């Protein structure tokens, strides 16, 4: 027999499974791999051009009629052009990888948020179940008082009504539990009805470890992706300069000469002619326009980077403010529950002595349950805020 603890699934386990199986994350990684292939394409030379011509009316030459010609040419761009193209593709591939890194971190955050929502729900279900047991105990006290003529029948019916409401609440929570499980399984890309076993939700929620946060994020994937695009833009600027330079062409012509003049020693000798061509970049408007476009794109990227840095810092500050607020709420609920503990003990004793009505005892129990549920939600929100801060302050591991 295996214990339930052997089936308990931790957050790290679920995140690891999500990283392996999530379809959206796989799609982003394939985009990165596709971008990698562009590097080889960008650095590859142009294919040489081979042409063949046949003279319907042969051209007479000194050594015989020329009947056909083969031409092989190869274009050569300015020095460093292919390297610049390769750099552009490489930086764009790195930008796609940073997007993949960010998407993976967002996936971890999403799984964590659903996980802690599920923990809070299951903890609240335990509280509601415990509340049902308390109501059963109160009903026994009221029934005993009724037999001794210290309570009314309506008091028993009131407790029964609360118990029915409690059973309905527990059933609703179980339905919500399955909805959260379905959402987690969808992120992990497995059967939607696969159970998510978690041992002792309260203990996990109570684990509030303080984490050190650097409010100045420098290497977050969201920033690194833009920086890679900036580097790609700089390489594109370099490419625009090189493409404004002359381009070279190397070629070789091979002419087939028919042998008809036997009196000439060179009769019928085929002709070979090496060729060199150079482009003349005299129309510079298109090159100037391209350089200006690249420059404007660079300015746009700078604004994007500055805006993203500001957004990250703002999101971190908001999360820190929320964290402080949640700690304050948690402290308040702890104080209220501590005060209610003694009051509830005295109220149950008073109920047994018939010196307090069941209505007041039920109100106090309902108040205690409300504080405990709010505390459970606050614990879950605190954990989710911590996970948000971990995401916002993560650095790229490229």
In a domain, 337, yes or no: yes
The answer to the question of residue 86 being in a domain is yes
Task: State the Cα angle at 93 between 89 and 98, rounded to 5°.
Answer: 150
The answer to whether residue 50 is domain-embedded is no
Number of domains the chain contains: 1
Q: Is residue 264 part of a domain?
A: no
**Residue 4's pLDDT is what?**
38
| Radius of gyration, CA atoms only, the chain | 39
Enter the tokens of residue 305.
């980077």
Give me the helices (H) in the chain, please: 11-21, 23-43, 81-147, 153-188, 201-206, 221-243, 285-352, 358-392
User: What is the mean pLDDT for each group of 10 consecutive residues in the chain (398 residues)?
Assistant: 54 94 94 91 84 78 75 87 91 95 96 96 96 94 89 91 95 95 94 91 84 69 95 92 86 79 59 83 82 93 95 93 95 94 89 87 94 96 94 79
Cα separation, 158 vs 202, whole angstroms: 31
In a domain, 212, yes or no: yes
CA distances from 104 to 15, 72, 111, 174, 293 (A): 9, 50, 11, 30, 33
Q: Is residue 256 part of a domain?
A: no
DSSP string, 26-42: HHHHHHHHHHHHHHHHH
Residue 83: which domain range?
Answer: 4-44+77-245+281-392
Q: Sort residue 79 into left (φ over 0), alpha (ψ -120 to 50) or beta.
A: beta
**pLDDT recorded at residue 260:** 63
Structure tokens at 52: 């063949």
The DSSP secondary structure of 245-309, one letter per residue, reads S--EEEEEEEEEE----TTSTTTTPPEEEEEEEE------HHHHHHHHHHHHHHHHHHHHHHHHH
Q: Is residue 59 part of a domain?
A: no
Provide the pLDDT for residue 3.
Answer: 40
Give me the count of residues in the chain. 398
Indicate the SS3 state at residue 192.
coil
pLDDT of residue 348: 87
Other Cβ atoms less than 10 A from the Cβ of 88: the count is 22
Q: What is the pTM assigned to this prediction? A: 0.85
Q: Which residues contact 25 (CB under 8 A, 6 or more apart)?
A: 18, 19, 100, 103, 104, 107
pLDDT given at position 267: 60
Provide the token pair at 184.
Answer: 């987690």
Eight-state DSSP code of residue 355: S
Look up the CATH number of the domain holding residue 223: 1.20.1600.10
Structural domain includes residue 58: no
Rounded Cα gap, residues 200 and 180, in angstroms: 17
User: Residue 388's pLDDT is what?
Assistant: 94
The per-residue pLDDT for 212 is 64
């Amino acid at each position: 027999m295996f214990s339930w603890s052997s089936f308990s699934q931790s957050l790290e386990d679920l995140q690891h499974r999500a990283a392996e199986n999530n379809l959206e994350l796989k799609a982003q990684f394939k985009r990165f791999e596709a971008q990698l292939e562009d590097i080889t394409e960008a650095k590859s030379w142009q294919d040489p051009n081979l042409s063949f011509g046949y003279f319907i009316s042969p051209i007479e030459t000194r050594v015989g009629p020329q009947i056909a010609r083969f031409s092989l040419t190869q274009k050569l761009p300015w020095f460093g052009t292919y390297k610049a193209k390769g750099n552009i593709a490489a930086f764009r591939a790195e930008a796609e990888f940073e997007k993949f890194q960010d998407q993976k971190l967002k996936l971890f955050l999403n799984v964590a948020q659903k996980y802690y929502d599920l923990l809070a729900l299951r903890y609240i279900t335990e509280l509601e179940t415990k509340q049902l047991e308390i109501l059963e105990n109160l009903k026994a006290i009221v029934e005993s008082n009724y037999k001794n003529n210290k309570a009314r029948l309506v008091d028993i019916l009131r407790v029964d009504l609360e118990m029915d409401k409690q059973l309905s609440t527990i059933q609703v929570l179980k339905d919500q539990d399955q909805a959260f499980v379905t959402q987690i399984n969808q992120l992990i890309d497995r059967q939607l009805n696969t159970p998510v076993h978690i041992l002792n939700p309260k203990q996990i929620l109570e684990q509030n470890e303080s984490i050190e946060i650097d409010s100045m994020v420098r290497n977050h994937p969201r920033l690194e992706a833009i920086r890679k695009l900036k580097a790609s833009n700089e390489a594109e600027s370099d490419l625009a300069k090189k493409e404004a330079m002359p381009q070279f062409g190397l070629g070789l012509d091979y002419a087939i000469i028919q042998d008809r003049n036997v009196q000439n020693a060179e009769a019928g000798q085929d002709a070979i002619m090496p060729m060199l061509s150079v482009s003349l970049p005299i129309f510079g408007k298109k090159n100037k326009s391209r350089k200006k476009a690249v420059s404007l794109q660079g300015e746009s990227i700078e604004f994007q980077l500055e805006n993203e840095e500001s957004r990250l810092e703002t999101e971190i500050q908001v999360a820190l403010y929320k964290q402080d607020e949640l700690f304050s709420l948690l402290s308040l609920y702890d104080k209220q529950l501590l005060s209610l503990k003694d009051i509830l003990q005295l109220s149950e004793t008073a109920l047994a002595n018939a010196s307090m009505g069941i209505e007041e005892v039920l109100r106090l129990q309902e108040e205690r349950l409300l504080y405990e549920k709010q505390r459970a939600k606050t614990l879950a929100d605190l954990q989710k805020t911590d996970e948000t801060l971990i995401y916002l302050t993560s650095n790229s591991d490229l």
